Chain A
């Protein structure tokens, strides 16, 4: 009774053992530490090698060998290097291409099997010898000769080969309502029922059942394997194929950036170059904690000024005939406008009266001076009297001149500092009030930042400012107020270096360093990607063409760096440029 079941179990055990053995032998023994081979069918065979300085990927393509050479730490393509390959035909030098790679005609690569290449790279003063292994699979026809193994393994192999084919073609065939598919399905079903009927008669259920299933699967497999050919012919261009150039000669594109089943992202070297992916080594360090403060750009109080009219009056342009407009550079002492104070009617009559009086007095004193000067020679009048009369005349004339000048001369408005006109409200003929600001002058190279802090910052602290667009500026502490404003302390910083592009009143975030110390890995802000589930990840460059997402915990550090608190260790290559693009790969 139990012998048929035992036989079936034994067959199953042998099948499993051979399956495991087959996988183990496919992984050519002894290259321990090597990356697992790509599991996707759409990836061409390739070899890679790394050294301290370089990372090399060799891809055979259309009878040539494409070599992609990058810096190990940064992922930057190495151009202008001498790349010499030890081929079976002797040493050959690869030619640089426009795609920042190297190419070498390789007719010897037409032979399938294992190829070992020694690549000697000379880039500047760095020389490296890198062994590259290439395992080229045999063309489909060459696989057909099966080894003389037990029938069970043949079955298991064909089942293993057939399953992906079935799942691949089934959906399309169902969609097309293929008559072949329907016929095969019906035939298999009928065959199964027939066999079951026979088996019932003979009472050898397990063995016959296994036979029936095997026959059904084999029949279906052959049918689908046949159908797969025309499936390939009418294959539509794959979405995203624009990333990779289609190989000439009608060969389907083989290297597509893709997310592999284990969650890692495969990005072939040409795509890495297109996306300009760059990496950096993580290094542990101790950093000071920073706090973010809301701030706004203010003009430097010592390098800006306002132009106000001291008297009310009518504005008129300076000698050039034009008022300085917004953005006009001005120099200290430049006349920006004139204010002509208006003279009221009462004042006019008053002045006329005063003018008449003065004229009258001048005429009287004038005659007295003339008379005294004649008499003084004869000694009839004292010299003192003559002098007094002359002084009186001079004083009267001065008063008369001043009266004239007041009536005709307007007040010039003068730029108090060098800079650029930041605000202008002057129009010809406009009446300006006394004390009204007509112009504001700001030195755009000399701007400050005022931030509101809840902690008192100490002098000499380092701070950076970050704009919403990501630009950062170094700041120098200038001072903080003692009077609270909105329950916070106003703190002023000077912007170091080039402050061009900033506007007065612009909002920014000030990141000031506090005394607290943090340890971890500092990475550029661009290295961290927020995934759709809200988690922060960085992409680690694990092998030459593979990137793996690592969930990390981040803390703000400063304007353009974040601190990785956990999730990745030091000494890893992390993508710092193009991580967002890498995250889009599906």
Chain B
């Protein structure tokens, strides 16, 4: 009986995939988008690029072990920013040029197990 119930339950969980908006305002003042199974919030201020790592239900995910690259379009030119884990669920990096408030671009995450995911900001 146990496999039967477990299988039924797991199939129900898998079928009920989480549905959420593509790009929303985040609690750190940035924009949130999907990156694979994670949600990432992009906050740009001056030359600093911060990416907050969240799971599907907006819970913080520890950033330790993660790597990330942000490619942001600034004044019609792509700028590549390498991001390293800082505190808690934040990855941070410095851009060469000052950024505007909501640049277009994408963030690519590399999890500690080598899996990658990317999210797009319009």
Contact = CB atoms under 8 A, between A and B. Distances in A.
Contacts of A33: 22
A120 B8 contact: no
Contacts of A115: 116
Contact of A32 (B4, B17, B73, B117): B17
B76 interface: yes
A425 interface: no
A130 B120 contact: yes
Nearest to A91: B80
B3 A14 contact: yes
B17 A13 contact: no
A127 B118 contact: no
Interface in B30-83: 34, 36-37, 56, 69, 71-73, 76-78, 80
A182 interface: no
A30 B56 contact: yes
Contacts of A86: 69, 71, 108
Interface string A110-127: 000011111010100101
Contacts of B96: none
Nearest to B22: A33
A146 interface: no
A127 B14 contact: no
A274 B66 CA distance: 43
Contacts of B88: none
A20 interface: yes
A114 to B, nearest CB: 7
Given A91-B80, A118-B118, A129 B106 contact: yes
Given A10-B4, A116-B36, A125 B76 contact: yes
Contacts of A84: 78
B26 interface: no
A133 interface: yes
A127 B77 CA distance: 7
B114 to A, nearest CB: 9
B120 to A, nearest CB: 5
A1 interface: no
Contact of A18 (B7, B19, B36): B7
Q: Which of B69, B72, B118 has the most CB of A within 10 A?
A: B118
B113 to A, nearest CB: 11
Given A25-B14, A120-B78, A127 B73 contact: yes
Nearest to A150: B3
A17 B7 contact: yes
Interface residues on A, range: 35 or more
Given A17-B4, A122-B78, A114 B14 contact: no
Nearest to B37: A30
Interface string B91-118: 0000000000000111010000001111
A30 B34 contact: yes
Interface in A131-189: 131, 133, 150
Contacts of A20: 11, 14-15
B11 A17 contact: yes
Contacts of A261: none
B119 interface: yes
Nearest to A19: B11
Contact of B117 (A24, A51, A116): A116
Among A14, A122, A125, A131: residue with most chain B CB under 10 A: A131
Given A114-B115, A127-B76, A131-B120, A29 B37 contact: yes
A115 B105 CA distance: 19
A128 B104 CA distance: 8
B118 A131 contact: yes
B29 interface: no
Contacts of A17: 4, 7-8, 10-11
A21 interface: yes
A49 B11 CA distance: 29
Kindly name the residue among A13, A25, A30, A117 whose own CB sees the greatest number of chain B CB atoms within 10 A.
Answer: A30
A551 to B, nearest CB: 30
Contacts of B71: 86, 118, 120, 129
B17 A30 contact: yes
A130 B106 contact: yes
Contacts of A13: 4, 8
A131 B34 contact: no
A86 B109 CA distance: 12
A91 B80 CA distance: 10
A67 to B, nearest CB: 16
Given A130-B120, A133-B118, A150-B3, A116 B108 contact: yes
A116 B120 contact: no
Nearest to B38: A30
5 contacts: A10-B1, A24-B15, A30-B34, A32-B20, A51-B122
Q: Which 7 A-B pairs have the closest CB atoms?
A: A131-B118, A24-B14, A116-B116, A17-B7, A21-B11, A129-B106, A120-B78
Given A14-B3, A29-B14, 14 more contacts: A17-B4, A17-B11, A18-B11, A21-B11, A24-B17, A86-B71, A116-B118, A118-B106, A128-B104, A129-B73, A129-B78, A129-B104, A131-B108, A131-B118
